[in-house]
Chains A and B, each alone.
Chain A
Amino acid sequence: QTVVTQEPSLTVSPGGTVTLTCASSTGAVTNGYYPNWFQQKPGQAPRALIYSTNNKHSWTPARFSGSLLGGIAALTLSGVQPEDEADYYCLLYYGGAWMFGEGTKLTVL
């Protein structure tokens, strides 16, 4: 049973920097897992932020960036804004099937 693990919750101060991570129980995450990141606020549909590890959509704020860090997919928010408080989900590709991470609740406090 494959599991994609994210931090359950993180807290960051406004203006600060925070890194959310996404690990696979199968081993190191590589570009071949095409990591995606999504933001979801209460009562809303998820919004795509990052695709294929580090590519931003046209609407993705510049303060969001994706990367691979030592075999883990990462989403870094630099200069966090109050409106960044949300749930964040990663998504990994497993050769024909996709799997979401368990999600990280980010609190801006």
Chain B
Amino acid sequence: QVQLQESGPGLVKPSETLSLTCTVSGGSLSSGNYYWSWIRQPAGKGLEWIGLIYTSGSTKYNPSLRSRVTISIDTSKNQFSLNLSSVTAADTAVYYCAREFTYWGQGTLATVSS
């Protein structure tokens, strides 16, 4: 069964770029016509879809975040990544990666603070 694991720095300074990686195991990221998503959840609040990427490299982003988000994929490493630029305290959240919203990682907390 496919498993996903998020990784990245837990602390980012305001105005800098948050970079997270999702490592996929138990299957090849490039096999099957799947899309791979990033979702986030501020403490005590609801879920917010950030964006997704297909194995082809095609992307879709949340319109409210589009100007700051880049999602990329590295099939050779079985990983996909999230870059969120110009972060503020409002970007502090648990960040999840998922395969088609079916299989989810455990989440990683990213805190924006100086």
Tell me the A residues contacting B by CB distance below 8 Å.
Answer: 36, 38, 40, 45-48, 51, 57, 89, 91, 96-103
Contact = CB atoms under 8 A, between A and B. Distances in A.
Contacts of B52: 98
Interface stretch (B17-25, B67-75, B82-90, B104-112): B104-112
A100 B60 contact: no
B32 interface: no
Given A45-B96, A48-B101, A96-B60, A89 B106 contact: no
B46 A51 contact: no
B47 interface: yes
A46 B96 contact: yes
Nearest to B104: A45
A47 B104 contact: yes
B15 interface: no
A57 B99 CA distance: 14
